[in-house]
Amino acid sequence: MKISSTGIIAVLLSIIFIFPAKSQNKPPIDVEFTGMFWFITTYNFQSSDPNWAEMLRPTRVLDDSGRPFADNGLFSISVRPSRVGFNTRQATTKGDLITRFELDLVGGGSNAGETFFRVFNAYAEWNRWTFGKRNSVFMDGSVVPNTVEFFGPNGMVLLRNIQVSYKVVDSQKSQVQIGLENPSASSDLGPFREDFTFREKLSDIVFTNKLPALTFHYRRNFEHGHFQAGWVTKYISWFDRGSTPASDFSGETWGYGTNISGSINPTGKIRLLGSVVTGRGIQNFLNDGTADVGVKANPTNVITPVNGAAIPFYAIMAASEITLAETLSSTVAFSRVVNQTFESQLSTSFQSGSYLTVGLIHRPIPGISFGLEYQHANRQNANFAGAPEFELPAAQGNFFAINKIQANFVYRFSKSN
């Protein structure tokens, strides 16, 4: 009999909460069961990727061939952002040992578009150390706006990454943290594999993570806000599994960038948030990230006629959260990502994309909220000048925009032992 990963998790949760461990030699472990039921209904006046119909992603406004996904009009209902998990806390002689484990239903990878379990958080904190999957050290979670839309602005750093990190300074006013994280990388080689002279050759290329990404941030808290500056550096390499002395497409490059973010609370009812991110080859750290590596033509080199290079970019995000009444608030958020694409990138390559939401959130009682929001996203693809030496004609990148209306019902709950 086969037991699914979901079944195993259910059994573990039952053991934790029904049969709490007791020991005369160890301090008691406090356990908190947490969850969030998130119901979404969305109407898209244009079209976008049906796998992400309930989430506003500028990268998925056009498909991999640079075309709209479908005719105008798409209605969807979903509970995919819902999640469940548990937290534990145990006292030690060097501070509390804290763990957190959460699953949501936003399937990814081979389960993209499905309502399927995904690890949202899985980490342990102890004595200023963090091990596991949680917000990247490069990220500033304090500037993530409270939108009705689940995914959030594309122009901010938002990545829950596997890491080992350490807080060098950890006080109420200041924080300095460094980390080694999963580097990962992606490229826009996909379109080349369809109609490129060397498409069979490019199919042999795989990314190899030889070094972890180095992340850092400094944070300073003030009475009416905060400031944070982050940095990331990562080594990117790819290997040609079919390399020969006469033809080898293997290569390497560096990705790096900075994230400047902060908040201002001019009054008790207004909160302003913002961030500016710039660099190259670190787009995977962005929310709704694009390719990190782009293809650059090198026709004079017989052995490596095409090579990869880290794509430069910049991204901005600005948001406001305003309390209108005791149970009513509004959020306006805007962001934009611009890749400085290479001339040799095809017209299917993402060049720029924008995100805009304007919404209202009503909280009649603690733990329950209703939201209504207008959403807009657009995508501009790169213009390709053509490459006759590679049998690739010139092509103009498409632009497409979508407008959506979304409403949600959210119920948050927790239970301690």
Query: 3-state SS string over the chain?
Result: CCCCHHHHHHHHHHHHHHCCCCCCCCCCEEEEEEEEEEEEEEEECCCCCHHHCCCCCHHHCCCCCCCCCCCCCEEEEECCCCEEEEEEEECCECECEEEEEEEEEECCHHHCCCEEEEEEEEEEEECCEEEEEEECCCCCHHHCCCCCCCCCCCCCECCEEEEEEEEEEECCCEEEEEEEECCCCCECCCCHHHHCCCHHHHCCEEEECCCCEEEEEEEEEECCEEEEEEEEEEEEEEEECCCECCECCCEEEEEEEEEEEEEEEEECCEEEEEEEEEEECCHHHECCCCCCEEEEECCCCCCCCEEEEECEEEEEEEEEEEEEECCEEEEEEEEEEEECCCCCCCCCCEEEEEEEEEEEEEEEECCEEEEEEEEEEEEEECCECCEHHHCECCECCCEEEEEEEEEEEEEEEEEEC
Query: What are the extents of the domains in the chain?
Result: 30-416
pLDDT at residue number 369:
98
pTM of the model: 0.89
What stretches in the chain show pLDDT beneath 70? 1-25, 187-203, 299, 302, 389-391
User: What's the pLDDT score for residue 299?
Assistant: 67
CATH architecture of 30-416: Beta Barrel (2.40)
User: Which pLDDT score is estimated for 24?
Assistant: 54
